[in-house]
Amino acid sequence: MEELTILLHGECSTPLYEQIYEYIRQDIIDGKISPGEKLPSTRLLAKHLAVSRSTTDLAYGQLLSEGYVHAVPGSGYYVCDIKKDWLLSEGDGESVHKKEAKSPGLSGAENREKSRSFQYDFSMNGVEWSDFSMASFQKAVKHMLQEGMEGLFDPGIPQGEENLRQEICSYLHQARGVNCDADQMIVGAGNEYLLMLLDQMFQKDRRIAMESPTYHQAYQTFCNLGWETVSIPMDGEGMEVEELKHSGASLAYIMPSHQFPMGSVMPMKRRMELLHWAGEEQGRYIIEDDHDSEFRYKGKPIPSLQGSDPLGRVIYLGTFSKSIAPAIRVSYMVLPRKLLEVYRNRCGFYSSTVSRVQQQILYYFMKEGYFGRHLNKMRRIYRSRHDALILALKDKMWAKRIWGENAGLHVLVEVASGKGEEEIVRLAMERNVRAYGLGEYVIRPESEREHPVLLLGYGGLTEEQITAGVRILGEVIEESPERENSFQRYPKNPEYRILDK
């Protein structure tokens, strides 16, 4: 080791100890210093390099902590045999690494799908975010900056901030007839996250009944989490209770106030039958997803199922994704008291997934009345869009039947066409219009549907866009297949038809 050559750069921004460490480390890797070889003492090396002893101590400490050398008490530092274990495997890894990079697969395509944008997108998740709302949201942020930042970086309450939960509770009580105290509420970053918590609370009897068609993300979430999902057919009033009884499920996931995607409202009688089902056996619960009930354009809002449940068998789920915007990422869940204990025991250690800053912004947004005004304004805007869509569809020969109207943010249209549902959706995409087929939401084999059914969301489109989009849809639906083929007006080249965001 007498020949250990280390050129130190005093001017260099790298600390001296690090330069020493790096030299020796590289020499070990390159094999210039052999495994088992003893390094000079820190004292000797310090003298040799004319640096302080603490500098060489630091360098050796670093080598030691990274496992390049080991210390033999009373003797000194010896080089470890890292080569065998480590450098070789690094070698052959290289090729594997490159191979890995080249498997984009289906999901890559799906992912790109998400980033596509269409000129007219009848998405059910589209919402309007007006200048008005932006301004009031900014005011809420400023409110937080002025008043609420103190202590916002201390750990929060797992269920969510007390003041926010109280605001949401009183809103739910007034607007949705939900009966709850703030301590029954869990605030979380999106419905799917709250379902992940619920999942962990039910360790046995993991079979859930869902309507078909249903909200696809919830279905996918339960599948991912290893639940057995049983799809139950619907009649005009909702989930068929007789089928539910024979399903063996202990949980039922329903949307009684405005079923997605069918748009149906569950009448009181069916609600009572479902509550009765839940009450018949220990451990049965109903998940009520009340996703878009803020928006109702005719008649008064239908109160929540939770509000008429005396047994504590309804888990109520709500979200600000539609009432404010999906990007706000705040949902809430009201648990029956019985489940609250289970939640605390199993999931009480999870910190809230919504930051306290975010929760305080939302709190001010609600408390200062911005949320109420925002909702009122949105109801007017969405009603106009709803009316424009109904009007645009009304005189169309191909629009055989419309339903699910007067509430929420989408309607369903049964289409008279020689073309199939998927074909219409595909052809529309080529014309830069995104419509959604009912089939995309069906979770059990269908047999009876005679005609294609399209779901058209209007929350994110202006009235002009709605009219224009429906016009193009009509052309796609009514265009004869031969004509389409001969004209080839809309080439299939994807670069042509996709506008990236």
**Scanning residues 386 to 425, which ones bind a copy of itself (CB under 8 A)?**
none
Per CB under 8 A, the list member of 300, 394, 483, 492 interacting with a copy of itself is 300
491 prior amide bond cis, ω within 30: no
Which residues does residue 230 pair with via DSSP β-bridges, in sequence order? 209
Q: Which stretch binds a copy of itself (CB under 8 A): 296-304, 373-381, 408-416, 440-448?
A: 296-304
Nearer to a copy of itself, 159 or 212 (CB): 159
Q: Which amino acid is at 52?
A: S
Sheet holding 185-188, edge to edge: 185-188, 331-334, 314-319, 285-289, 251-254, 207-211, 228-232
Question: What mask of x and - would describe binding to a copy of itself in positions 171 to 200, judged by CB under 8 A?
Answer: ------------------xx-xx--x---x
Which residue's CB is nearer to a copy of itself, number 20 or number 392? 20
The span from the CA of 436 to the CA of 251, in Å, is 28
One residue of 177, 279, 372, 439 binding a copy of itself per CB under 8 A: 279
Least distance to a copy of itself, CB of residue 217, Å: 6
> Which C-beta is closer to a copy of itself: that of 213 or that of 474?
213
- Of 66 and 475, nearer to a copy of itself (C-beta) is 66
CA distance 378 to 383: 8
Work out how close the CB of 425 gets to a copy of itself at its nearest, in angstroms, rounded to a whole number.
Answer: 18
For a copy of itself, the binding residue among 4, 6, 175, 342 (CB under 8 A) is: 342
- Spell 114-123 as b/e; 16+ CB within 10 A means b: eeeebebbbb
Residues 466-495 close enough to bind a copy of itself by CB under 8 A: none
Binding status of residue 380 toward a copy of itself by CB under 8 A: no
> With CB under 8 A as the contact rule, which of the stretches 17-25, 228-236, 378-386, 473-481 interacts with a copy of itself?
17-25
**Residue 6 or 357 having the CB closest to a copy of itself:** 357
Under rule CB under 8 A, which residues in 127-156 are in contact with a copy of itself?
127, 129, 133-134, 137-138, 141-142, 145, 149, 152-156
Query: Total number of residues binding a copy of itself (CB under 8 A)?
Result: 120
**Least distance CB 89 / a copy of itself (angstroms):** 6
Position 341: which residue type? E
The vertex-91 CA angle with 85 and 92, nearest 5°, equals: 100
Q: Is 58 in the site for a copy of itself (CB under 8 A)?
A: yes
Q: How far is residue 421's CA from residue 412's CA, in Å, rounded to a whole number? A: 13
Query: Quick check: 500 binds a copy of itself (CB under 8 A)?
Result: no
Nearer to a copy of itself, 114 or 483 (CB): 114
**Residue whose CB is less far from a copy of itself, 141 or 375:** 141
Site for a copy of itself in 204-243 (CB under 8 A): 217, 220-221, 224-226, 237
Residue 67 as a binder of a copy of itself (CB under 8 A): the answer is yes
Contact 388, 463 (CB under 8 A): yes
Q: Closest approach of Cβ 478 to a copy of itself, in Å?
A: 31
- Taking only Cα atoms into account, the Rg of the chain, rounded to an integer number of angstroms, comes to 31
Answer for which of 36, 75, 102, 445 binds a copy of itself (CB under 8 A) is 102
Q: What is the DSSP letter of 350?
A: S
Q: At closest approach, how far in Å is the CB of 200 from a copy of itself?
A: 4
Token representation of residue 253 = 């996931």
Return d(Cα 306, Cα 172) in angstroms, integer.
11
Those residues whose C-beta lies under 8 Å from the C-beta of residue 407, and which sit 6 or more positions away, are 258, 263, 265, 292, 293, 295, 296, 297, 298
DSSP secondary structure letters along 165-213: HHHHHHHHHHHH-----GGGEEEESSHHHHHHHHHHH--S--EEEEESS
88: Cβ–Cβ under 8 A, 6 or more apart, which residues? none
Where would I find the beta strands (DSSP E) of 258-409?
285-289, 314-319, 331-334, 399-403
Q: Say which DSSP state 38 is in.
A: B
Single out the residue of 56, 68, 398, 421 in contact with a copy of itself (rule: CB under 8 A). Answer: 68
Residue from the set 328, 388, 409, 438 that interacts with a copy of itself by CB under 8 A:
328
3-state helix, strand, coil in the chain (%, to 5): 45, 15, 40
Is the Cβ of residue 330 or residue 424 nearer to a copy of itself in the bound state?
A: 330
Interface stretch with a copy of itself, choices 100-108, 166-174, 425-433, 473-481 (CB under 8 A)? 100-108
Closest approach of a copy of itself to the CB of residue 368, in Å = 17
Q: Which of 291, 318, 320 is nearest to 407 (CA)?
A: 291
- CB-nearer residue toward a copy of itself: 72 or 134: 134
Of 93, 233, 481, 494, the one binding a copy of itself (CB under 8 A) is 93
The DSSP line for 48-115 is HHT--HHHHHHHHHHHHHTTSEEEETTTEEEE--HIIIIIHHHHHHHHHHHHHHT--HHHHHHHHHHH
Q: Does 3 bind a copy of itself (CB under 8 A)?
A: no
Q: Are 165 and 365 in contact, with CB atoms under 8 Å apart?
A: no
In whole angstroms, how close is the CB of 87 to a copy of itself at the nearest point?
A: 9
Residue closer to a copy of itself (CB basis): 346 or 444: 346
Q: 135 or 391, CB closer to a copy of itself?
A: 135
**Which of 210, 266, 424, 455 forms a contact with a copy of itself (CB under 8 A)?**
266
The CB-of-419 to a copy of itself minimum distance in angstroms stands at 27
